[in-house]
A and B are shown apart, each in its own frame.
Chain A
Amino acid sequence: MLLTLAFRNLWRNQRRTLLTLSAMVISAALLILALGVFSGMFRDMLASATEQYYGHLVIAHPEYHLRRDLFAHLPDDIADQLALQREAEITGQSPRLRSFGLLSRPETSQPVELLGIIPELEQQVTSLQHQLTSGHYPSAKEHNGALIGQGLARKMKVKPGDELVFVTQAADGSIGNDLLIVSGIFATGDSRHDNNLVLAPLLWLQQVLVLPERIHEVAMVVADPMTAARIADRLATDLPEGVGILDWGDLLPEMREVIAAYDVSRMIVVAILYMATGLGILNTFFMSVMERTREFGILMAQGMRPWTVRGLVLLETLLLGCIALVIGVFCGAVMTLYMQQVGIDLSGYITPVTYAGGTILPRLHAVFEAGNFLVPAGMLLLISLFAGFLPANRAARLDPVVAVRDL
């Protein structure tokens, strides 16, 4: 009964309702957009750190990442042994073998890090295929095709099609060496990779290192990077002796710190946004209740209890809040969608940025995250309630006689 009254009250003064509604909707939608863009930047930071090279999770010998010891290897079917394909949350796996050695041309030799990979699998985990400046990603057919960083290519003066020799210490003590042909050149903007990293076929490297059917690590990606730590903890309990799992936070502690600091500034800005929105809503509700003082006076004069009046006001605000929520979320979603698909491209005046082990692409875009919708929605309801509370109280405390006389 009260509900119907509340509802009708809202529609009675359409102008006022629409006004308040539009303010709330627009504020909510903009808030959702802002949060989406924040998440987008956040996700970009994380993605760049992990998806260029590390992945979100890595399975390897427990201390492998400390010294990258050649002899801390695992069987190359370890992923199958652990039945990782059954893990729904893991969306890509790449077995890798790593070697440090010399890349040589007639005039110059450079120390490099060489990663033996399976192209189809590696491309599920890392994104170098999107950062090629020339040539192509080595295909499965090219038994000795290599992908090298741009800085390295420049120093050694090579282009796709040129030959390189890789020399290293093999696992049996001999000098491992073989030819590589440059398939493609990548540029990430991160000099540590561009000047140092070479990708080559896993099988090729296994032969050079005399480590048949061995790998050093399995790099994996998951749907949501923020869940990586949790997944790692869960998987860690089932791992056999001599096998460990790390998440990107373990591999890139500096990135973790950057994200912590970023979160702080994000929270501050979000607080500002909520506050601005909240005050706006508070204002309009106050006004709308004040406007109807006379009306409330009449209602109470006719016998409506003060707490009923309060309830009525609260209900109205809640209803309004819900409607605003639905429409606002919808609009917010539409705008976020635009920013996600299209975004704002800044590459005209910014090149990729490297920090804390990752590289960021120069663009503003948004991502969809449940939290960016649920929290504003919740806040909206809460603020509506709060915004309605004070005026509602005020209305309930009115002296009907005084109120009726109000004009």
Chain B
Amino acid sequence: MIPYRRTIISNTLAAVLLLTLSSPALALDVQSLIREIEQQYMGASSHANTTMQVRTAHWERTLEMEAWSLGRDYFLVRILEPAKERNVATLKRSRQVWNYLPKVDRIIKIPPSMMGGSWMGSHITNDDLVKANHIDEDYDLRLLDETATHYLIECLPKEEAAVVWGKIVYRIRKTPRVPEQVDYYDEELVRVRETHFDDVQQVGERIVPLQLTVLPLEKPDEMTVLRYRDLVYDLPLDETFFSLRNLKQR
């Protein structure tokens, strides 16, 4: 999702900065530099119309949604199409997630036991939404390989990090500086999941990929594709926008 993607970018930038500066003294500076960059994105807000296409072994469907986000911790997504699911919405505030169901006019808080469930039927889980933004907190980054056009960055979980992956590898294009692919490995370093980033465009001052594809490798026929349209950054949004009342709003 939006925050997810952006954090990958922020991680990437941090990693890249680390790479270009090699002396330890400068590395220390890099730390604070990273933090500064994080701060920048923390404050950023965004709005977009998105299309999500999901294919599983049993069904295939396409959703049209409208999404708002603020930093890493807040977002609100509302379904526009298909008509049957119009106004179903998800609100995330830091580590809590709620769904609004217009058919019964109720707000449901997602309890821990349901966090493993998929979000809106896709290959992205509720848990992904909650945890995706803390990759830099939970992993140690290092440069694995470098070619003329790409960086390969390896992320290994920190000693006590509560993450299920054994390893995450980013492939990042040098120019423009955007991620292309992220591979997720289990503890035995078997690749379990892949995310691809495509359709890189300029949006305002930023260069971002507008299409995200999630592939569960052990189910080769399945995938989730997320496309962004009309993406806009830096709106006058603050935390109060991301409220349960707005969740219900039609």
Contact = CB atoms under 8 A, between A and B. Distances in A.
Interface of A: 71, 102, 104, 106, 109-111, 165, 167, 169, 171-175, 177-179
B108 A173 contact: no
Nearest to B113: A111
Given A104-B108, A165-B106, A174 B101 contact: no
A174 B103 contact: no
A38 B228 CA distance: 71
Contacts of A173: 54, 56, 59, 61, 120-121
B121 A175 contact: yes
24 contacts: A71-B58, A102-B108, A104-B106, A109-B108, A109-B109, A111-B111, A111-B114, A165-B101, A167-B101, A169-B117, A169-B118, A169-B121, A171-B58, A172-B61, A173-B59, A173-B61, A173-B120, A174-B84, A174-B85, A175-B85, A175-B99, A175-B101, A177-B104, A177-B106
B117 A177 contact: no
A214 to B, nearest CB: 12
A71 B58 CA distance: 7
B61 A109 contact: no
A177 B89 CA distance: 13
Interface of A is mostly: strand
A167 B121 contact: no
A102 B111 contact: yes
Contacts of B121: 169, 173-175
A370 B79 CA distance: 65
Contacts of A71: 57-58
Contacts of B61: 172-174
B88 interface: yes
Contacts of B111: 102, 109-111
A102 B114 contact: yes
A109 B110 CA distance: 8
Given A109-B109, A111-B114, A175-B85, A165 B104 contact: yes
A165 B46 CA distance: 32
Contacts of A175: 85, 88, 99, 101, 120-121
B54 A165 contact: no
B59 A178 contact: no
Shortest beta-carbon contacts, A-B, top 4: A173-B121, A177-B101, A165-B106, A104-B108
A177 B87 CA distance: 13
B99 A167 contact: yes
A171 B59 contact: yes
Nearest to B85: A174
Contacts of B120: 173, 175
Interface in B36-76: 54, 56-59, 61
Contacts of B54: 173
Contacts of A177: 101, 103-104, 106
B100 to A, nearest CB: 10
B115 to A, nearest CB: 12
Contacts of B88: 175
Most buried by B among A169, A171, A173, A179: A173
Contacts of B117: 169
Contacts of B85: 174-175
A316 B106 CA distance: 84
A102 B108 CA distance: 9
Contact of A165 (B58, B84, B108): B108
Contacts of A165: 101, 104, 106, 108
Given A167-B108, A175-B121, 14 more contacts: A71-B57, A71-B58, A104-B108, A111-B113, A165-B104, A165-B108, A167-B101, A171-B58, A172-B59, A173-B54, A173-B56, A174-B84, A175-B88, A179-B104
Contact of A178 (B58, B104, B109): B104
A110 B111 CA distance: 8
Contact of B103 (A102, A169, A171, A178): A178
A104 B98 CA distance: 12
A104 B109 CA distance: 9
A284 B249 CA distance: 93
A332 to B, nearest CB: 55
> Which of A175, A177, A179 has most B Cβ within 10 Å?
A175
Interface centre among A106, A110, A165 (most CB of B within 10 A): A165
A172 B61 CA distance: 8
B218 to A, nearest CB: 15
Contacts of A102: 108, 111, 114
Contacts of A111: 111, 113-114
Contacts of A174: 61, 84-85, 121
Nearest to A208: B103
Nearest to B106: A165
Contacts of B57: 71
A175 B106 CA distance: 13
Contacts of A110: 111
Contacts of A106: 106
Nearest to B107: A106
A95 to B, nearest CB: 21
A171 B57 CA distance: 11
A169 B120 CA distance: 8
A173 B52 CA distance: 12
Contacts of A104: 106, 108
A204 to B, nearest CB: 13
A406 B118 CA distance: 97
Contacts of A178: 103-104
A332 B108 CA distance: 61
Contacts of B110: 109
Contacts of B59: 171-173
Contacts of B106: 104, 106, 165, 177
A173 to B, nearest CB: 3
Contacts of B113: 111
A172 B109 CA distance: 23
Nearest to A167: B108
Nearest to A105: B106
